Structure 1
Amino acid sequence: MVVKTAALATLLAVTASAWTVPSNLQTFYNNVKNGGCKSYAGGKSNLNDGQGHSGFGFCTDTANVVYLTGKNSLGDMDIDCDGASNCGGLSGDWQAGTSFDDILVSKKYGVKTLDASIHQFSVLGTCNLNLEGLISPLALVAVVCNNQLFYSVWGDTNGCDDNNFTGEASISLAQLCFPNEGLNGNKGHTAHDVLYLAFTGSDAVVGPSNANWKTKSASDFQNSLKTFGDSILTKKFGSTVPPTNPGNPGSGTCEWVGHCAGATCKTNDDCDGDLECKSGVCGGSSGGTTPPPATCSWAGHCAGASCKSHDDCSDDLTCKNGKCAT
């Protein structure tokens, strides 16, 4: 539930490590901010940002992710205080639960609802745009804000009193992103420069053991998301950040989103660069004889991506037989 008009005193900004934005994710951020989207979830591309601006939607152009975008812009960041603590009990527009509390209880997460002051969560979907067919509840959401990377979970949705507003996050995530802006329930971040990158697939769900759900510290919760966040970013998006999970071997830069180290495969052709398909998973190459892929600066449109014309392919790649290739 978005909190836009309630009187809410400024909370002390929490502190946590800000993660470096990987170079390929930064390139993707720049392209999205300066480009457009062809396919929107539910065909809806005229959602509202809560500031009187329309033309926003959740883009499905890129494999393995769904992200909020506008016309040559990204999302803003309004404030959500729903859940356990009501941001210190000061919000006048508050609900005592979040959207996926039934899962938190049934899957034994150790908490009955999220706490916006502790848990970093993103608010995705609107009153009449349900994203559950594309994203699993409590899925990992990478958030690029203020030239930093933070991890969050898909923890709440907007209600029907919000006129289909988009671009919203828990108070703890907002204050991590913009600690010097004095954000509170009555003041959000209004610039359209925030990338909410939600990962698809059941393996992207942040499970009970993937984060410290019982912590009382916002910084501890963010730090606890790092290992799982890095592994999913690497697996799903080809992150150039070395994975912190030793079970997900890296191979350096990965240009073919969805086919990086840790991705499922049937043959070596399903894996990026010189990675090999070992036991159904893309991993390090033993021979290293496969030449590296062509440079690709447009994630989701690299070598191997489906295409209809050359314009669907990144850089110097061309569309051959429905696939981007050199």
Structure 2
Amino acid sequence: MCGIVGLFLKDKALEPRLGELLSDMLITMTDRGPDSAGIAIYGAGAPGKVKITAQSADPENEFKGLVAELELAGVAADVTLKSTHAVIEIAEDAVADTRAFLARKGLRVMGAGESVEIYKEVGLPKDVVARFDIRAMGGTHGIGHTRMATESAVTTLGAHPFSTGADQCLVHNGSLSNHNNLRRVLVKQGMKFETQNDSEVAAAYLTSEMAGGKDLGQALTSALDDLDGFFTFVVGTKDGFGVVRDPIACKPAVMAETDQYIAFGSEYRALVNLPGIETARVWEPEPATVYFWDHGKAA
């Protein structure tokens, strides 16, 4: 079943509250999928820097001395520890070396980019939100997901959001029927997969399309032709936020827009505590229709 939420802020005055607002939205969706949850927060990045969010099943031991180990590997890094996750900030030319180091240590990469931080774990949304102190985080936009596993195991890697490109991630409600064929095509293109989840394939597909020069709106439009099944996608990129439903649109979805924000929820109740919701323009996104917003651009 799953519950998905997204919030794109137009009013800078709300940016310090992004984590708080998105957390409340996601927790409201708990009964749509209580086995795991995740949130991606997009905030201001430092020029010339990249953040890699890594996860460990044994953070007490594996994160101990992480800065010193990275230095020995030739990587200067600032590290912020949050429960089972570590946000590693490095120079943009050190990404490959850092990823190689993390792979040697057996640490999992949740996401990477100039502005995104991704936190996900097994457990209820309220517990995931609390363990990573999401409420205290500010930013410009974010997406979240609470999962009911139907296609693959209940694991940290199987939780959403899925990120397969820099500053890009996806949450999904539904099921794809042609993901195995598409996975084989993407593997031939050089894409790597860490789970059997069909949603990871959808994320990789969009990464591939955007690497070919398409913007988010164009990549989501292509997905309507190339992906079979039933789905609602909410996607985050460095600059924005997009939504698309399959042509049947059997999964529930609602959106709201005010002068301050654009919000998405699997159900309206996810939106009821947003400021000014009583005067928002509220609508159900149309089937096979792409909605996306970035800085000054909408479709």
The normalised TM-score by structure 2 is 0.32
Per residue, is there more strand in 1 or in 2? 2
Which gives a bigger RCO, structure 1 or 2 (Cα 8 Å, sep 6+)?
A: 2
Per residue, is there more helix in 1 or in 2? 2
Q: Larger Cα Rg: Structure 1 or Structure 2? A: 1
